[in-house]
Amino acid sequence: MDAKIPPGPLADKWNYYKAHARLVNPANRKKMKVIVVGTGLAGASCAASLAEQGYAVDCFCFQDSSRRAHSVAAQGGVNACKNYKNDGDSVYRMFYDTIKGGDFRSREANVYRLAECSAALIDQAVAQGVPFAREYSGYLDNRSFGGVQVSRTFYARGQTGQQLLLGAYQALMRQVHTGKVALHTRHEMLDLVVVEGKAKGIIVRDLETGKLERYAADAVVLASGGYGKIYYLSTLAMGCNASAIWRAHKKGAYMAGVSWVQVHPTSLPQSGQHQSKLTLMSESLRNDGRIWVPLKAGDTRHPNDIPEPERDYYLERRYPSFGNLAPRDISSRAAKERIDAGHGVGAMKNAVYLDFSKAIGEQGKDKIAEKYGNLFTMYQKITGINAYAQPMLISPAAHFTMGGLWVDYTLMSTIAGLFVLGEANFSDHGANRLGANSLLQACVDGYFVAPYTIPDYLAGELKAEKVTTAHPAFDLAEALAQTKIDELLSIQGDLPADYFHKNLGRLLYDTCGLSRSKEGLERAIREIGELRQEFYRRLKVTGDDKVNTELEKAGRVADYLELGALMCRDALAREESCGAHFREEYQTEDGEAMRNDRDFCYVSAWEWQGADQPHVLHPEPLVFEQVALSTRSYK
Amino acid sequence: MALTGTFLCLFLVIHLLGNLQLLLPADRARASFNWYSHLLSGNVLIKLIEWLLFVSILAHIVYALLLTLRARKASGRGYVYDKRKASSTWNSRNMGFLGMIILLFLVLHLKDFWYRYKFGNLPLDEQGYTDLYAIVVAAYEEFWYVLLYLAGIAALGFHLLHGFSSAARTLGLYHPLYSKVVRVAGKLYTLAITAGFMIIPVYIYFNKA
Amino acid sequence: MKIHLKIWRQDERDGPGGMVSYTLDDVTEDMSFLEMLDALNGVLIGKGERVIEFDHDCREGICGQCGLMINGRAHGPLPHVTTCQLHMRSFRDGDTIYIEPFRAAAFPVLRDLKIDRSAFDRIIQSGGYIAAGTGSAPEANSILVAHDTAEAAFDAAACIGCGACVATCKNSSAALFVSAKTVHLSLLPQGKLEAPQRVNAMIAQMNAEQFGPCSNTEACEVECPQQISVLHIARMNWAFNKSRLLGRKG
């Protein structure tokens, strides 16, 4: 596995790359076409940037408008090492925080570039009109976030993702207006077309007419987001799916870090059997909220009636230096530990308290309302509880997938010409992502990295023969996609796609969620196999092949069933605990993760071998030149 | 709509101020009102304003019709079960209906007073002015006529209640404080105009000789 | 609880449609409205019928994709929530609930409750942006924005583009949606330069998309999930009128 890291000292690598990247003559750019799948932060920013440079872009999303992509739901903020607070921040500090937060399972060069480009992103967003929070002096405001000891998070109330996405969406709309981007909403990618080892197009389904369509291009960008929805109950949108990356995977792109899934500590707990999603409450709440459970197991008193000495502020107790701002994996696991030990609260005993009484006492209700007003309102809308008067109930929920398609330093997958951006790729977060780094990564990939690396690739394609949609590879890919649709429609069993999705999700929460064991993972692989067989025997999709959400769901669940098995295999093969991956067999006496740098200091990239063949593992060793591997401690 | 509406609002104030003379004791009212009517009818400037008024009313109506047609076209198929009325006031949704009542009232009003004054053969008062006062008093001594007037003015009131602040919006008054001021002013204005115009026929009816 | 439903069913764009009755048992109070529809679709699949198509995605009130007319109200009986944030605890056992798509000539129905809101995208395309090139912006703190200005811009920028304002408006006007964007951008110093062109272009596109005129009934503000104030419409009008008076239409 060659990550194509540029030569030179860490701090100069990206500059070296930029200085040596090939360019395309402006006159030639409009002859080159790029396909972008997904219109979230990564996709929209990449499509807009490439169009501004002069390339022709075909952009796709399955939603009814490109503004709906799930980046919109990110709440807390975006990190950037501007050091506006003069609290000791720097590119290196941010790089180190991120690499440590990822438990030393990411590439130094990628992470350094992420930190290096972060400052420019804030400039970019402000120029686009993103209304970040301001001090009374008119300067940008910051707050702190989990896993770091500086204030480097920029925010727009609790809707930072929405505001950043609207900035990117508007930039994209501007390019649509100029005619350089052709936008195809309500289109879902079904397959990648590879010609002579290079990505040359995609097959999509028009979700309104049901027709399969072909699009050819000189390069393909996947920015289709993460696959956390595989757990069914998650903080993701209902439509989030792995289909685009999974179908590219089956065409030869490797998947990496597949089982590294972040479980977010501050989500609303599940309240019933019909629940379709778990709503996230921004992690920024942990800045001012204190997390606790009753000291006594099974305590049923109202939280306000439990006196201070009978409360267990377990994060402050276990991790005194980071306290309530401990990274997400650690906070989630600590919550699960308390809940499993019988200290859980709420109707289903599956939650912990997030308490603002101290912050309200110190700062006043108005200040808290200004910072988190919309979150408190949202909480009240969903639960009917006023969190100004009593603590919120929160619990962990599947949230972000650090894993995804393997990419090199240029964000190109193992298929030439197939670039993968944002959450869809494995790259910068290692085994655990720090809060407010996902918006950053998506933006940096789309605004600052891809606009250099994709032209570099295209420069080499200028003289290549143009592939049109008449190429036999398109015939084959379309025929296969059609066969798959016909198959799903023809099973006509007795169970809806949701049944399989919910069962898969439950199984993965149990065996491949916050904690994993050899025994559980082996059982899961077996049971997922059985579930998959049952799926192809008993699935029922009603309706026709036009607008049909059941058909869309079935296609996505079919992919999840294959991906779920790979997640378990990945987790099974990694015999250590690192970041979000916690193997019960590998822990210290006091329950902390035990990493094994001697045997597992690598990224696991998996190659698809066919439906009933086991994946082949290609390790990409991680070389650390700048940082010394240390035990990650937030105590 | 906003410009013509605002102009018509202004006119209503002048009209009311003039008409308030009718509340004076009968003799003084007759002298004063007839003199005032004469003054107005003879003035070139007033003639000009009169034309402007007619044009405004016409423009207000034509524009309203055009907007209603546009809105109807924009609404498409409409709802089977419609409770949208819960989210706005009745008068704000029914400005067209109110406007139609006002128009009918206006036709009657102009026919009975303005037309007769201009083109009718009316007696003169002691000063030699046309005795419009007598006509007005005669009209308001009829119970059904007073009732008709009150209904017309009520419609005008509801129309103004929305129209006044709506005009400010359309013209672009966006400041939260001044918007609130205009909203309150609109209510006071509406109250003054409707009360003023309503008192006159009622007063005359109950003071008939 | 048991819920009776009357739901708009329509096979295709511009095709005929009508209300169809369903009854759903075992509805619980903690279900969200959309989870109730999921449950109904589960029943329909069991019977071999085509499911009810409706738009939804994030289910936490921010993506703006869900939007139903519930008992004749946009996003249902509660003020300032999206359809996905409405829970069945707002209804009672035995209730009959009418569900229709958001209606406007500019929002054609695709199937059942799914509609085409691409008119909104085209309005943004006409000028709803600051024309800042990507990758080359000045230092963020070189543009000072007063705290209150940033907050006011945010209030406008919070629009989720769901279309409830149009659906509840008797004129099917998109004034609140358009004004939210023009005001968000023109309040900020970065967006002031293009303000006259922007407001003219966006209003022209809004009219071209066949949205109706605004008559200030203020129903939009009542139903808006983000509580966008109608004063933004006034502010847009001010900018529009000013640009026409000064002859700066861009």
* Statement: residue C113 has pLDDT above 60: yes
Listed range (A518-522, B117-121, B163-167, C32-36) with the worst mean pLDDT = B117-121
Sorted by sequence, the CB contacts under 8 Å of residue B126 that are 6+ apart come out as B31
Closest CA to A299 of A312, A290, A316: A312
Other Cβ atoms less than 10 A from the Cβ of A171: the count is: 27
The answer to whether ipTM exceeds 0.95 is yes
Closest CA to A569 of A633, A615, A504: A615
Nearest residue on chain B to C221, alpha-carbon basis: B87
Provide mean pLDDT across the span A80-104.
Answer: 95
pLDDT of residue A426: 95
Number of H helices, E strands in chain B: 9, 0
Establish if A80 belongs to a structural domain.
no
Q: How far is C97 from chain B (nearest CA, A)?
A: 10
Nearest residue on chain C to A156, alpha-carbon basis: C154
State the residue for tokens 């999700």: A505
Q: Note the pLDDT tens digit of each residue in A565-582.
A: 999 999 999 999 999 999
The shortest CB-CB distance from C231 to any of B74, B82, B174 is to: B174
First-residue to last-residue Cα distance in chain C: 58
In which element (H, E) is residue C24 found?
A: strand C17-24
- CA-to-CA separations, A517 to A103, A520, A598, in angstroms, rounded: 19, 5, 20
Do C170 and B79 count as a contact with CB atoms less than 8 A apart? no
Q: How far is C218 from chain A (nearest CA, A)?
A: 22
- For domain C118-245, the CATH class is mainly alpha
Q: Note the pLDDT tens digit of each residue in B126-144.
A: 888 989 999 899 999 989 9
* Statement: residue C123 has pLDDT above 90: yes
On whether the CB atoms of residues B1 and B64 are closer than 8 A, the answer is yes
pLDDT of residue C183: 98
What per-residue string of b and e applies to A215-247 under the rule 16 or more CB within 10 Å gives b?
bbbbbbbbbbbbbbbbbbbbbbbbbbbbbbbbb
Q: Which residues of C touch B159 (CB under 8 A)?
A: none
Closest CA to C110 of A549, B82, A188: A549
Q: How confident is the model at residue A470 (pLDDT cuts 50, 70, 90)?
A: very high
On whether the CB atoms of residues A401 and A261 are closer than 8 A, the answer is yes
Q: Note the pLDDT tens digit of each residue in A491-515.
A: 999 999 999 999 999 999 999 999 9
- Annotated catalytic residue, options A113, A152, A318, A328: A328
Q: In Å, how far from its chain's centre is CA C93? A: 29
* Statement: residue C250 has pLDDT above 60: no
CA distance A578 to C162: 41
Dihedral sign for Cα atoms in the order B126, B129, B130, B132: negative
* Statement: residue C249 has pLDDT above 80: no
CA distance B152 to B106: 8
In which element (H, E) is residue A57 found?
A: strand A56-60
Do A126 and C143 count as a contact with CB atoms less than 8 A apart? yes
pLDDT of residue A372: 86
pLDDT of residue A284: 82
The shortest CB-CB distance from C137 to any of A123, A140, A174 is to: A123
At least 3 CB pairs under 8 A between chains A and C: yes
A394 with A269, same domain: the answer is: yes
Do C157 and A163 count as a contact with CB atoms less than 8 A apart? yes
Please compute, for residue A570, the number of CA atoms within 13 A of its CA located in the half-sphere on the CB side: 32
User: Which of C73, C97, C215, C232 is the best residue to mutate to test the B interface, defined by the most B CB atoms within 10 Å of its own CB?
Assistant: C215
Q: Note the pLDDT tens digit of each residue in A272-287.
A: 889 999 998 888 898 8
DSSP A412: B
Do A239 and C57 count as a contact with CB atoms less than 8 A apart? yes
User: Which of C54, C56, C63 is the best residue to mutate to test the A interface, defined by the most A CB atoms within 10 Å of its own CB?
Assistant: C63
A376 with A486, same domain: the answer is: no
Which tokens is A540 given? 């029922």
Q: Note the pLDDT tens digit of each residue in A440-468.
A: 999 999 999 999 999 999 999 999 999 99
CA distance C199 to C248: 11
Establish if A461 belongs to a structural domain.
no
Establish if A57 belongs to a structural domain.
no
SS3 content of chain A, % helix, strand, coil (to 5): 45, 20, 40
Q: How far is A251 from chain C (nearest CA, A)?
A: 28
CA distance A470 to A293: 63
- For domain B2-206, the CATH class is mainly alpha
- CA-to-CA separations, B73 to A88, B90, C103, C122, C212, in angstroms, rounded: 61, 21, 12, 20, 8
The shortest CB-CB distance from C237 to any of B70, B165, B172 is to: B172
Establish if A38 belongs to a structural domain.
no
Do A543 and C157 count as a contact with CB atoms less than 8 A apart? no
The shortest CB-CB distance from C185 to any of A129, A280, A547 is to: A129
| Collapsed DSSP state (helix, strand, coil) of residue C17 | strand
Q: Provide the strand spans (E) within chain B.
A: none
pLDDT of residue B209: 58
Do C147 and A134 count as a contact with CB atoms less than 8 A apart? yes
* Torsion of the alpha carbons at A289, A290, A293 and A295, rounded to the nearest 10: -150
CA distance C71 to A284: 37
Radius of gyration over every alpha carbon of chain C, rounded to an integer in angstroms: 20
Establish if A612 belongs to a structural domain.
no
| CATH classification of the domain holding A382 | 3.90.700.10
CATH superfamily, domain at C3-114: Beta-grasp domain (3.10.20.30)
DSSP A514: S
Sheet containing A56-60: order of strands = A181-184, A56-60, A33-37, A219-222, A418-420
Sorted by sequence, the CB contacts under 8 Å of residue A626 that are 6+ apart come out as A10, A108, A112
State the residue for tokens 């007759």: B30
Nearest residue on chain C to B63, alpha-carbon basis: C213
CATH 3.10.20.30 range(s) for chain C read 3-114
Q: Which residues of B touch C8 (CB under 8 A)?
A: 80
A387 with A477, same domain: the answer is: no
Pairing of strands A255-256, A404-406: antiparallel
Q: Which residues of C touch B95 (CB under 8 A)?
A: 215
Do B75 and C212 count as a contact with CB atoms less than 8 A apart? yes
* Statement: residue A634 has pLDDT above 80: no
Q: Note the pLDDT tens digit of each residue in A257-269.
A: 999 999 999 999 9
* Statement: residue A361 has pLDDT above 80: yes
Q: How far is A172 from chain C (nearest CA, A)?
A: 8
Residues 37-76 of C with CB under 8 A from A: 38-39, 41-42, 44-46, 48-51, 53, 55-65
> How many structural domains are present in chain A?
2
Establish if A341 belongs to a structural domain.
yes
Nearest residue on chain B to C75, alpha-carbon basis: B84
Q: Note the pLDDT tens digit of each residue in C133-188.
A: 888 899 999 999 999 999 999 999 999 999 999 999 999 999 999 999 999 999 99
CA distance C162 to C167: 9
At least 3 CB pairs under 8 A between chains B and C: yes
- The dihedral region occupied by B160, where left means phi > 0, alpha psi between -120 and 50, and beta the remainder, is alpha
Between chain A and chain C, the number of residue pairs with CB atoms below 8 A apart is 224
Q: Which residues of C touch B93 (CB under 8 A)?
A: 170, 217
Pairing of strands A219-222, A33-37: parallel
Other Cβ atoms less than 10 A from the Cβ of C46: the count is: 13
On whether the CB atoms of residues A217 and A35 are closer than 8 A, the answer is yes
| Structural domain boundaries in chain B | 2-206
CA distance A564 to A584: 20
Residues of B with CB under 8 A from a CB of C: 67, 70-71, 73-84, 86-89, 92-93, 95, 162, 165-166, 168-176, 179
Q: How far is A161 from chain C (nearest CA, A)?
A: 10
Q: Crossing angle for the helix pair A108-128 and A160-178, nearest 10 degrees? A: 70
A281 with A391, same domain: the answer is: yes
At least 3 CB pairs under 8 A between chains A and B: no
Q: How far is B78 from chain C (nearest CA, A)?
A: 6
Do B74 and C172 count as a contact with CB atoms less than 8 A apart? yes
Is A328 a catalytic site residue? yes
Q: How far is C193 from chain A (nearest CA, A)?
A: 12
pLDDT of residue A144: 84
On whether the CB atoms of residues A67 and C118 are closer than 8 A, the answer is no
Domain holding A573, by residue range, is 472-596
Please compute, for residue C162, the number of CA atoms within 13 A of its CA located in the half-sphere on the CB side: 39
Q: Read off the amino acid at residue C181.
A: K
Closest CA to A190 of A464, A556, A525, A440: A556
CA distance A359 to A10: 41
Q: Which residues pair with A183 in a beta bridge?
A: A59
Do C65 and A183 count as a contact with CB atoms less than 8 A apart? no
Q: How confident is the model at residue A328 (pLDDT cuts 50, 70, 90)?
A: confident
Q: Is the pTM of this model over 0.90?
A: yes
Which tokens is A77 given? 């903020």
Q: Could you tell me if C207 lies within 8 Å of chain A, comparing CB atoms?
A: no
In which element (H, E) is residue C124 found?
A: helix C118-125
pLDDT of residue C10: 97
A390 with A273, same domain: the answer is: yes
The shortest CB-CB distance from C30 to any of A177, A272, A280 is to: A272
- Domain edge (last residue) among A399, A420, A435: A399
The shortest CB-CB distance from C106 to any of B74, B175, B179 is to: B74
Q: Could you tell me if C34 lies within 8 Å of chain A, comparing CB atoms?
A: yes
pLDDT of residue A266: 92
On whether the CB atoms of residues A40 and A420 are closer than 8 A, the answer is no
* Statement: residue B208 has pLDDT above 80: no
Q: Could you tell me if C156 lies within 8 Å of chain B, comparing CB atoms?
A: no
Establish if A316 belongs to a structural domain.
yes
The shortest CB-CB distance from C100 to any of B79, B87, B170 is to: B79
Q: Could you tell me if C67 lies within 8 Å of chain B, comparing CB atoms?
A: no
Do B76 and C219 count as a contact with CB atoms less than 8 A apart? no
Q: Which residues of C touch A208 (CB under 8 A)?
A: 13, 110
Q: How far is A445 from chain C (nearest CA, A)?
A: 12
Other Cβ atoms less than 10 A from the Cβ of A93: the count is: 18
Radius of gyration over every alpha carbon of chain A, rounded to an integer in angstroms: 24
| Biggest distance spanned by C-alpha atoms of chain B | 65
Q: Could you tell me if C230 lies within 8 Å of chain B, comparing CB atoms?
A: yes
